[in-house]
Structure 1
Amino acid sequence: MPKMKTHKGMKKRFKVSATGKVSHKRCGSSHLNSHKSGKQIRKLRKKSKLNVSAENRRVRTALRHKPSVNPLAVEAERLAAQAVQAEGEAPKAAEAPPAENN
């Protein structure tokens, strides 16, 4: 099966933050600005976030975005799993009779 490709048009227009929010440039700010108010021009300069979760998911899928993972959280989760596993094995080891060395 071939590799999944990133949608290059979306890559140029959208950016996905580390938390998974999708931002984009607002439309209508490139030309024909002489009749627009200063307030409107200033508002159009700012990036906007997508509010619809289905659209967010669609963009992230097209960009092949995988949510970033905090390495410290992964390590803590791994240590917690090992601790639970060690607790489960400790009683079994205590029940076994001690081996005598001769």
Structure 2
Amino acid sequence: MPKLKSHSGAKKRFRKTGSGHIAYKRRGRSHLLQQKSKRQKRISRTILINTRDLRRIETLVPHL
């Protein structure tokens, strides 16, 4: 049986938290922040994935 390979795009986007949940960063918080409103900056924080998407993410990144 061949090795399980991780999806390299998903590897860069998702990480496991200390409590075991999977989190990702939303877009829009890397640069050009001066002209963005407070609401835009607040929305672009790190969030946890939905439990419905958990199985799909775990198949993409089995060694997370």
Q: Could you tell me the TM-score, scaled by structure 2's length? A: 0.70
Compare the two structures and name the one with the higher helix fraction.
1
Which runs of 5 or more residues in structure 2 are unaligned? none
Determine what percentage of the aligned residue pairs are the same residue. Answer: 41
List gaps (5 residues or longer) in structure 1.
67-102
Match of 2:20, SS state, is coil
Work out the CA distance in 1 between the residues paired with 2:20 and 2:54.
Answer: 8
What TM-score do the two structures reach when normalised by structure 1?
0.49
Structural RMSD (CA)? 2.4
Given residue 12 of structure 1, which amino acid in structure 2 is its aligned partner? K
> 1:59 corresponds to which residue?
57
Structure that is richer in strand per residue: 2
Q: How many aligned residue pairs are there? A: 63
Distance 1:63 1:32 in 2: 31
Residue 28 of structure 2 corresponds to residue 28 of structure 1: yes
Higher relative contact order, chain-length normalized (CA < 8 Å, sep 6+): 2
- Letter aligned with residue 53 of structure 2: E
